Amino acid sequence: GENVEQHPSTLSVQEGDSAVIKCTYSDSASNYFPWYKQELGKRPQLIIDIRSNVGEKKDQRIAVTLNKTAKHFSLHITETQPEDSAVYFCAAVNGDSNYQLIWGAGTKLIIKP
Amino acid sequence: DVKVTQSSRYLVKRTGEKVFLECVQDMDHENMFWYRQDPGLGLRLIYFSYDVKMKEKGDIPEGYSVSREKKERFSLILESASTNQTSMYLCASSLYTGTSRAYEQYFGPGTRLTVT
């Protein structure tokens, strides 16, 4: 079946540094790629998303890039802060269903003071 | 604001019991989903529903069933609970219109189920 691979599984960065999380997907028909953040004990929430007709999208300190040819997309967080500590999930929409998301396994981001 | 609620935050059941987990959303969303979350395995889809009385199997449907009799309510049923079903269960809903962010899934707070 279709799948999304996410790396690394754990990422530890110094406060103020940048963090990059990478995902690859297999479904050529995918056209929507969201990123969710799950803080400890809380529900996952959408933080940014990108569609296949766009190569990059930015929202303050976070940005997402997409390379459709290589089938990979990345989340970039600059000037990391303690509140960025969380588990981040990438996903790709299932091209057959148009509403089902295929999820990556998650990245635990640790911000060191 | 979309609100997705789940019937329990914590649940402890015995092996062999029938377990009902209920999810309610208040935004008239067509799509509803049940996920299971385990450390290192991410979010695994159990079942989803795209309309009342409609359901489709996800990646790990074995041991589970679902019911959607009303648009706002989606129930997950464990017919005979087993210890390997101890997990965090997350419900989500989404609105499909084809417009931007129509795929966004809104999650409930989760139910941590322990089967002993």
Distances (CA, A) of B44 to A52, A63, A86, B36, B113: 24, 26, 19, 5, 16
Residue A65 pLDDT: 97
Distances (CA, A) of A41 to A82, B29, B36, B77, B112: 16, 25, 15, 24, 11
3-class secondary structure, B85? helix
- Which of A5, A23, A27, A43 to probe by mutation at the B interface, max B CB count within 10 Å? A43
Considering only B2-16, B62-76, B85-99, which range has the smallest mean pLDDT? Answer: B85-99
Mean pLDDT of B95-115: 82
Neighboring chain A residues of B40 at a CB cutoff of 8 Å: 9, 105-106
For A61-86, how does the pLDDT look when each residue is reduced to its tens digit (9 = 90+)? 999 999 999 999 999 999 999 999 99
Mean pLDDT of chain B: 92
Neighboring chain A residues of B60 at a CB cutoff of 8 Å: none
Q: Strands (DSSP E) along chain B, which ranges?
A: 4-6, 10-13, 19-25, 31-38, 42-51, 54-57, 64-70, 73-78, 87-94, 106-107, 111-115
Q: Does A40 touch chain B (CB under 8 A)?
A: no
CB A106 within 8 A of CB A87: yes
Residue A76 pLDDT: 98
Find residue B5's DSSP bridge partners: B24
**pLDDT at residue A104 above 60?**
yes
Mean pLDDT of A43-71: 93
Q: Which residue has the higher pLDDT, A2 or B66?
A: B66
CB B56 within 8 A of CB B30: no
CB A47 within 8 A of CB A27: no
Nearest chain B Cα to A98, which residue? B103
Q: Does A99 touch chain B (CB under 8 A)?
A: yes
3-class secondary structure, B99? coil
Mean pLDDT of chain A: 93
Q: How far apart are CA B99 and CA B52, in angstroms?
A: 22
Which residue in the set A98, A100, A105 is minimally distant from B42, CB to CB? A105
Confidence of residue B102 (pLDDT cuts 50, 70, 90): low
Q: How far apart are CA A45 and CA A56, in angstroms?
A: 20
Nearest-neighbour CA in chain A from B41: distance (Å): 5
φ and ψ of A70, to 5 deg: -85, -5
Q: How far apart are CA B64 and CA B61, in angstroms?
A: 6
Residue A98 pLDDT: 66
